[in-house]
């Protein structure tokens, strides 16, 4: 029995950025409760920025991040939708369903930024917002 409790405790400890993710998800749920589904991504982006600010969650909206190819900097940049706590990428979607390409996009953002956790959020999912955690 004690071993079972210890295993459960160890599993809980392995959740990356658990408290930060919980707070971010609360903000996401707040936006969905207020707005529902059916708007364009830009609307949810603006609403989530306001909600994150109201919840005192540190974030940067659409930061320009550099890319490196075989050790050389590229002129092209990429802009994740939101980075929270300087370490969690939030990629927003307003689509009928999340596809493999959406997951691949977030995985590439994580690799390029050397961040470990991303949240892929689909606000056009009904009856509730869809949040997929991607950990590298």
How many residues are recorded in the chain?
Answer: 136
Q: Between residues 87 and 13, which one has the greater pLDDT?
A: 87
Residue 91 to residue 25: CA distance in whole angstroms: 13
Predicted pLDDT of residue 14? 78
The answer to whether the beta carbons of residues 120 and 93 sit under 8 Å apart is yes
* Tens-digit pLDDT profile for residues 32-69: 999 999 999 999 999 999 999 999 999 999 999 999 99
Cα diameter, the chain: 57
Determine whether 72 is exposed, middle or buried from the number of CB atoms within 10 Å of its CB (0-12, 13-18, 19+): exposed
Query: Does the pLDDT value for residue 11 go beyond 60?
Result: no
Determine whether 52 is exposed, middle or buried from the number of CB atoms within 10 Å of its CB (0-12, 13-18, 19+): buried
Predicted pLDDT of residue 98? 96
* Tens-digit pLDDT profile for residues 23-37: 999 999 999 999 999
* Tens-digit pLDDT profile for residues 74-104: 999 999 999 999 999 999 999 999 999 999 9
Domains assigned to the chain: 18-135 (3.90.320.10)
Q: Is 109 helix (H, G, I), strand (E, B) or coil?
A: helix
The answer to whether the beta carbons of residues 64 and 79 sit under 8 Å apart is yes
| Nearest-5° Cα angle at 33, 126 to 123 | 45
Predicted pLDDT of residue 132? 97
């Amino acid at each position: 029995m004690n071993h079972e409790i210890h295993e459960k405790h160890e599993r809980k400890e392995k959740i990356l950025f658990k408290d930060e993710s919980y707070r971010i998800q609360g903000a996401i749920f707040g936006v969905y409760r207020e707005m529902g589904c059916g708007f364009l991504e830009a609307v949810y982006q603006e609403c989530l920025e306001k909600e994150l600010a109201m919840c005192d969650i540190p974030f940067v909206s659409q930061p320009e991040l550099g890319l490196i190819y075989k050790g050389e900097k590229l002129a092209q940049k990429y802009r994740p939708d939101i980075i929270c706590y300087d370490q969690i990428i939030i990629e927003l979607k307003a689509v009928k369903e999340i596809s493999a390409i959406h997951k691949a996009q977030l995985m590439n953002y994580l690799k390029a930024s050397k961040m470990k956790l991303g949240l892929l959020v689909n606000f056009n999912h009904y009856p509730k917002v869809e949040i997929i955690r991607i950990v590298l």
